[in-house]
């Protein structure tokens, strides 16, 4: 069937598609005549009594004859001529089970749905990307928590933290830790929300920011974050080398001795490593780490725990040493935990120091709170380490929030406790002069701390040198900037060129050799990235598009805005000059990308903002198709009733209530249209009055939308003009909403079938989705609470429209207590459990909560045998057959006997066996709905397309059988666009 092919996008392939699990899915075949093979009707039924020109259902008819004459007159030559008929014939292609049609929603390249109308050719099969057995997939602990902990717990804690406590005092140190920790914690919340709003690929925060704020901002902040990671690698290398040279002074080739503190000679000289020693050893260590990075992720993952375990052991030794110092007195100035030291060190003592940080009145460096923020902030960074490895995680939506926030809270508590202990442990002079106080007090000997410092910094440097090249490769692979094409890598390959470039930058920063000069640079770039993450979450949360459904619920736009403001404040506190330089660099990259870069259709949040600002959206989006992430339902509500409404009532009172249910928090626009029959010149004033009346009604129902009245010779021509011209740009309506004509038979309105079918066909041609509401009189208003379930009979691929409608219904107060059930109709030989797992995984990735129920043919057959309900079905089927027979007899009496008849102004072909199959298919589907969903709050089912070359009267008979006895039903037809997506 033509229309069926448009609905499902079937191709012309004869082969079976096989997914990675080995199960075969049958492709969609144009003009496929197969039908669901149901159980037979028991003998002795009342159907034998009616007089019909149609072929009767044969009692015990499990051997129902096949036909080679299908809708389009094309033969179906199945394998060996014995292929079993298991498909819903009326829907024109296989059931959802066999084509599942979800591949395009996973972001994989897939052929566009085919349609004989537009001459396209393609097929869609379900081939979800399953993890290969040899893929490296990590859990929350090894994939997120440990990398974050390893990056956060680094050199600053070991060799700078006690000095910071001595300079700022205990009180301001607590404020400093809380201030910086709050910034990273809020950023972690924003990161958790964005990371759980869809599948993540490689690139970590760059991927999140780019997909949320657009390619220009994503690339500019991503490159700055890459530079920050590369410079951070140099920071860790410098820390490791400085610690090594202090632990083993004999290893230094050049020595520099400082014998004065605050201008006073001290008996024990303080030695500081030479700049040249730090440079030489730093270059050597960087080269060695690069060789390890070239070994790949597997080697790094094996090495990472070996680096972390000594670090944790060294922390234990530090705290044991803190409690034992009262007895041991390991060095002068170490008082042990004492209240006097705590009081003495409570207030700050900012002063000048030399380049090594030793207090000196003639020193060139003056320290204050702002400067300490820049020094300390790298100690709380590293929260992106887990998201940088997103491609290697088993479950990003679970691991990233839990692992990142757990690591952030753990380290923040550790820092706060350490401030209190260090402040009460030693005199201020000792805190300011002994950079390695942690080693001095460690139990049982300082060498453990030296080993812990070196391993922690080398592990963090390894993480930076691993993450930075992959970030650069991810930016290059998006093909936005042609200049980055040299860093592209194929899937599964290591980014060797990007690693060499990162090593070159790292060596350049190591040559600087001053840890206190490198840290502000790292801080600026990291803060810029954190600000981008917070702004992304702020924008997405504020717009709250239908695609914004993060699994992490503990977020709010105000928290994201506060996090972004904190990032900006910290940047200016550290250095306004560094801030201006970093922002200027990001702006230059943004400008360069906007000029030279290629467009990336990522459905970013700014386009969603344009969509809500109508004038700018029309100019920004033009007539291009809207990305599924930014897709909003724009209903075209057809107000023309099937019959008459009371006077001064321009529209069915419940149509506006239903249109509001298709919007999330009232966002979106509805277009209410009606048609006046007659000549435009004669009824122009009547149309204006009717439009005003309809607008008043819309305002009264508090529905965001506009009213339009069209004058046309008849309803069919009027609707055809509306569906072609209504709307501007991307603000054109994409869903036609109308009431099901339940009164057509009761009122004997013979013109309704042709008009109804014509409207559906016009929507198919215009590529509009269709939602037909049956039981509109019973539709609840916003104050009528509904209980039970929202049941979806997902039979054909509709781009996810039915799923999205069910989610939008649950956002309304009247349906918020309902649960969603998805019914999948499986074939008798299908693996029901595997299918159920597939659909559940797909719904999980879509952030949709629903119960999946698989109904196989065999279970249907077992449940329909006998009973009074069976007699009711047979009675309905018999009545429909008799009415169709009477319709054919009437037509033939007027036109004469023959195969070809004229109906609805066109020639039609009556294939009696096919009509029988269609009737039986809709009867079985109706019986299934009544069996499983009799108590449902609302039922959604796929709309069967009108068969080609059949009278519209036949289609109304099929539809009446489908909707019979279902009190509240939505009949849904999607269009050739996906409206849901897995990705953020």
* Angle, helix 515-543 to helix 161-195, in steps of 10 degrees: 30
Rounded to an integer, what distance in angstroms lies between the CA atom of residue 447 and that of residue 46? 95
Find tokens 């030793």 and name the residue. 358
Domains and CATH numbers, the chain: 189-252+271-309+336-408+459-596 (1.20.1740.10), 626-774 (3.40.50.620), 790-887+902-983 (no CATH)
Question: Where do runs of H (alpha helix) occur along 575-707?
Answer: 576-596, 605-612, 614-621, 655-661, 680-700
Buried b (16+ CB within 10 A) or exposed e, 223-261: bbbbbbbbbbbbbbbbbbbbbbbbbeeeebeeeeeeebb
Within 8 A by CB and 6+ apart from 735, the residues are 633, 634, 635, 636, 662, 768, 769, 770, 771, 801
What letter does residue 144 receive in the DSSP assignment? Answer: I
Q: Is the distance from CB of 123 to CB of 379 less than 8 angstroms?
A: no
Asked if the bond preceding 493 is cis, omega within 30° of 0, the reply is no
pLDDT, position 327: 67
Burial of 569 (0-12, 13-18, 19+ CB in 10 A): middle
Quick one: residue 622, left, alpha or beta (phi over 0 = left, psi -120 to 50 = alpha)?
A: left
Cβ count within 10 A of residue 883: 17
Quick one: residue 479, left, alpha or beta (phi over 0 = left, psi -120 to 50 = alpha)?
A: left
pLDDT, position 343: 92
Report the SS3 class of residue 334: strand
What letter does residue 392 receive in the DSSP assignment? Answer: G
- E strand or H helix that includes residue 269: strand 264-273
The token pair that represents 184 in the structure block: 């990273």
Residue 862 has phi, psi (to 5 degrees) of -70, -20
3-state secondary structure 164-187: HHHHHHHHHHHHHHHHHHHHHHHH
Report the SS3 class of residue 339: helix
Q: Is the distance from CB of 389 to CB of 138 less than 8 angstroms?
A: yes
Question: Where do runs of H (alpha helix) occur along 100-159?
Answer: 140, 146-152, 155-159
Report the SS3 class of residue 892: helix
pLDDT, position 328: 63
Rounded to an integer, what distance in angstroms lies between the CA atom of residue 465 and that of residue 240? 15
The token pair that represents 327 in the structure block: 């007895």
CA-wise closest residue to 719 among 772, 773, 676, 776:
676
CA-wise closest residue to 637 among 663, 656, 622:
656
Q: Is the distance from CB of 979 to CB of 801 less than 8 angstroms?
A: yes
CA-wise closest residue to 972 among 824, 771, 790:
771
Burial of 951 (0-12, 13-18, 19+ CB in 10 A): buried
Within 8 A by CB and 6+ apart from 326, the residues are 336, 337, 338
Mean pLDDT by 10 residues, the chain (984 residues): 37 37 38 32 39 40 39 40 48 48 46 38 38 58 81 80 92 94 93 82 74 79 85 83 81 64 56 79 88 73 75 87 76 84 91 81 85 86 77 79 92 94 90 85 82 82 83 85 84 82 88 70 83 87 80 89 93 86 86 74 61 60 62 83 72 81 72 88 89 86 84 89 80 87 78 89 89 87 84 80 86 86 75 80 82 68 50 80 84 67 76 84 86 90 87 89 89 76 52
What letter does residue 784 receive in the DSSP assignment? Answer: S
CA-wise closest residue to 67 among 56, 78, 54:
78
Cβ count within 10 A of residue 58: 14
């Amino acid at each position: 069937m033509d229309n069926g092919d448009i609905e499902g996008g079937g191709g012309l392939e004869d082969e079976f598609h096989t997914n990675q699990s080995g199960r075969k899915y049958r492709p969609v075949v144009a003009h496929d005549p197969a039908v669901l093979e149901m159980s037979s009707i028991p003998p002795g039924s009342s159907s034998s009594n009616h007089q019909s020109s149609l072929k009767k259902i044969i009692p015990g008819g499990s051997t129902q004859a096949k036909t080679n004459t299908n809708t389009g007159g094309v033969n179906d030559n199945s394998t060996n001529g014995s292929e079993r008929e298991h498909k819903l014939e009326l829907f024109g292609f296989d059931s959802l089970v066999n084509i599942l049609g979800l591949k395009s929603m996973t972001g994989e390249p897939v052929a566009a749905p085919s349609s004989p109308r537009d001459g396209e050719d393609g097929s869609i099969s379900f081939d979800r990307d399953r993890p290969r057995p040899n893929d490296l997939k990590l859990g929350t602990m090894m994939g997120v928590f440990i990398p974050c902990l390893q990056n956060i717990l680094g050199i600053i804690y070991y060799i700078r933290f006690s000095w910071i406590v001595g300079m700022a005092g205990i009180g301001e140190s607590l404020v400093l830790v809380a201030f910086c920790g709050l910034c990273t914690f809020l950023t972690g919340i924003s990161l958790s929300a964005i990371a759980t709003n869809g599948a993540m690929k490689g690139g970590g925060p760059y991927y999140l920011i780019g997909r949320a704020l657009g390619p220009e901002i994503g690339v500019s902040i991503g490159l700055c974050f890459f530079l920050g990671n590369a410079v951070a690698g140099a920071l860790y290398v410098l820390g490791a080398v400085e610690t090594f040279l202090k632990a083993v002074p004999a290893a230094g080739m050049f020595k520099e001795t400082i014998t004065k503190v605050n201008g006073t000679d001290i008996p024990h000289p303080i030695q500081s490593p030479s700049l040249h020693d730090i440079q030489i050893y730093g270059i050597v260590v960087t080269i060695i780490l690069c060789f390890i990075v070239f070994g790949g992720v597997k080697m790094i993952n094996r090495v990472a725990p070996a680096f972390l375990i000594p670090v944790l052991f060294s922390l234990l030794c530090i705290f044991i040493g803190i409690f034992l110092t009262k007895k041991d007195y390991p060095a002068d100035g170490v008082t042990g935990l004492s209240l006097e030291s705590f009081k003495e060190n409570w207030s700050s003592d900012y002063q000048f120091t030399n380049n090594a940080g030793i207090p000196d009145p003639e020193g060139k460096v003056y320290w204050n709170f702002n400067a300490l923020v820049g020094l300390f902030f790298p100690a709380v960074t590293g929260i992106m380490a887990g998201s940088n490895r997103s491609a290697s995680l088993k479950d990003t939506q679970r691991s990233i929030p839990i692992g990142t926030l757990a690591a952030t809270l753990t380290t923040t508590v550790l820092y706060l406790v350490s401030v209190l202990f260090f402040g009460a442990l030693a005199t201020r002079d000792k805190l300011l002069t002994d950079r390695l106080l942690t080693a001095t007090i460690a139990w049982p000997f300082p060498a453990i701390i030296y080993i812990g410092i070196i391993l922690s910094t080398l592990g963090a440097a390894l993480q930076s040198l691993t993450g930075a090249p992959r970030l650069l490769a991810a930016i290059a692979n998006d093909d936005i900037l042609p200049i980055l094409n040299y860093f592209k890598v194929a899937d599964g390959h290591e980014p060797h060129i990007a690693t060499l470039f990162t090593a070159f930058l790292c060596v350049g920063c190591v040559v600087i050799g001053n840890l206190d000069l490198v840290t502000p640079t790292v801080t600026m770039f990291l803060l810029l990235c954190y600000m981008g993450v917070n702004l992304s979450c702020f924008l997405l949360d504020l717009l709250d598009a239908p695609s914004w459904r993060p699994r992490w619920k503990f977020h709010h736009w105000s928290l994201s805005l506060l996090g972004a403001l904190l990032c900006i404040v910290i940047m200016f506190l550290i250095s306004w000059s560094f801030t201006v330089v970093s922002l200027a660099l990001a702006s230059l990259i943004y400008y360069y990308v906007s000029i030279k870069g290629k467009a990336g259709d990522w459905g970013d949040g700014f386009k969603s903002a344009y969509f809500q600002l109508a004038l700018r959206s029309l100019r920004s989006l033009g007539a291009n198709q809207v990305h599924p992430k930014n897709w909003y339902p724009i209903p075209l509500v057809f107000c023309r009733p099937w019959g008459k409404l009371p006077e001064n009532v321009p529209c069915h009172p419940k149509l506006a209530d239903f249109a509001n249910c298709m919007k999330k928090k009232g966002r979106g626009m509805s277009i209410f249209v009606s048609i006046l029959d007659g000549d435009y010149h004669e009824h122009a004033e009547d149309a204006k009055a009717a439009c005003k009346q309809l607008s008043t009604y819309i305002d009264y129902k508090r529905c965001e939308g506009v009213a339009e009245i069209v004058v046309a010779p008849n309803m069919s021509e009027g609707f055809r003009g509306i569906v072609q011209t209504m709307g501007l740009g991307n603000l054109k309506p994409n869903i036609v909403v109308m009431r099901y004509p339940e009164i057509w038979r009761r009122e004997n309105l013979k013109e309704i079938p042709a008009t109804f079918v014509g409207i559906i066909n016009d929507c198919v041609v215009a590529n509009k989705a269709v939602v037909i509401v049956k039981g509109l009189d019973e539709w609840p208003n916003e104050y009528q609470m509904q209980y039970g379930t929202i049941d979806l009979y997902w039979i054909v691929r509709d781009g996810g429209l039915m799923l999205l409608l069910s989610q939008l219904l649950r956002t309304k107060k009247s349906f918020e207590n309902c649960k969603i059930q998805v019914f999948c109709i499986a074939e008798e030989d299908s693996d029901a459990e595997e299918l159920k797992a597939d659909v559940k995984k797909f719904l999980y990735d879509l952030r949709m909560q629903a119960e999946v129920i698989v109904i196989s043919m065999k279970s249907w057959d077992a449940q329909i045998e006998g009973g009074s309900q069976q007699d009711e079905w047979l009675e309905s089927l018999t009545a429909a057959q008799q009415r169709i027979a009477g319709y054919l007899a009437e037509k033939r009496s007027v036109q004469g006997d023959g195969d070809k008849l004229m109906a609805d102004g066109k020639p039609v072909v009556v294939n009696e066996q096919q009509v029988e199959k269609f009737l039986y298919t809709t009867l079985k589907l109706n019986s299934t709905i009544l069996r499983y969903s009799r108590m449902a709050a609302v039922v959604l089912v796929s709309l069967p397309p009108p068969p080609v070359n059949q009278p519209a009267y036949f289609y109304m008979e099929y539809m009446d059988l489908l909707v019979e006895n279902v009190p509240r039903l939505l009949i849904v037809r999607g269009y050739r666009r996906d409206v849901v997506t897995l990705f953020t």
